[in-house]
């Protein structure tokens, strides 16, 4: 009798959809009284839920995603082509300016003429990374404008 009360306590404390602990499952298997009581409670909870006007859809993900698509919200902020061009020109200009700048002369004086080689490599790398990012983010744009055969493979 005391065990039945304990098991029913466990059952009543379960969250919606939570599985019954093994101890309670075993008790339910051998105790008809608890089994009937649990089924009765479960049925009445289902009835309440079915009649509730506040019942949310089982899966709201689809509704939310459809709403998002229809709202026309763009995913992530897109950098305009003009901004990209500006950034590229500034970087390219920076490479030329740096070659003739005072600080570069100072670096050359300090480290010797060979400083030009690593500096050039670093600057070239930055430009390469810039180009890769640009192409990566403008793949659709490039695909539309240029008919490159290797870009059509995935289509």
Q: 12 CB contacts (<8 Å, ≥6 apart)?
A: 41
Region of 27-35, 65-73, 106-114, 116-124 interacting with Zn ion (CB under 5 A): 27-35
The least distance separating Zn ion from the CB of residue 9, rounded to whole angstroms, comes to: 11
- Nearer of residues 27 and 134 to Zn ion, judged by Cβ: 27
Region of 2-10, 73-81, 122-130, 143-151 interacting with Zn ion (CB under 5 A): 2-10
Is residue 4 close enough to count as binding Zn ion by CB under 5 A? yes
Alpha carbon dihedral 41, 42, 43, 48, in 10-degree steps, equals: 90
Is residue 38 close enough to count as binding Zn ion by CB under 5 A? no
Pick the binder of Zn ion from 10, 20, 31, 98 (CB under 5 A): 31
Region of 31-39, 69-77, 94-102, 103-111 interacting with Zn ion (CB under 5 A): 31-39
With CB under 5 A as the rule, give the number of residues binding Zn ion.
Answer: 3
The residue ranges that bind Zn ion (CB under 5 A) are 4, 31, 34
């Amino acid at each position: 009798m005391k065990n039945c009360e304990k098991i029913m306590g466990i059952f009543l404390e379960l969250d919606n959809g939570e599985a019954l602990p093994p101890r309670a499952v075993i008790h339910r298997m051998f105790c008809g009284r608890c089994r009937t009581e649990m089924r009765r409670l479960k049925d009445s909870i289902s009835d309440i839920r079915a009649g509730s006007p506040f019942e949310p859809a089982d899966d709201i993900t689809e509704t939310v995603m459809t709403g998002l698509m229809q709202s026309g919200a763009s995913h992530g902020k897109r950098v305009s082509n003009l901004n990209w061009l500006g950034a590229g020109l500034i970087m390219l200009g920076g490479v030329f300016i740096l070659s003739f700048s005072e600080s570069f002369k100072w670096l050359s004086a300090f480290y010797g003429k060979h400083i030009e080689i690593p500096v050039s490599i670093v600057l070239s790398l930055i430009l390469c990374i810039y180009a890769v990012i640009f192409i990566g983010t403008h793949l659709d744009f490039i695909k539309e404008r240029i008919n490159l055969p290797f870009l059509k493979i995935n289509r």
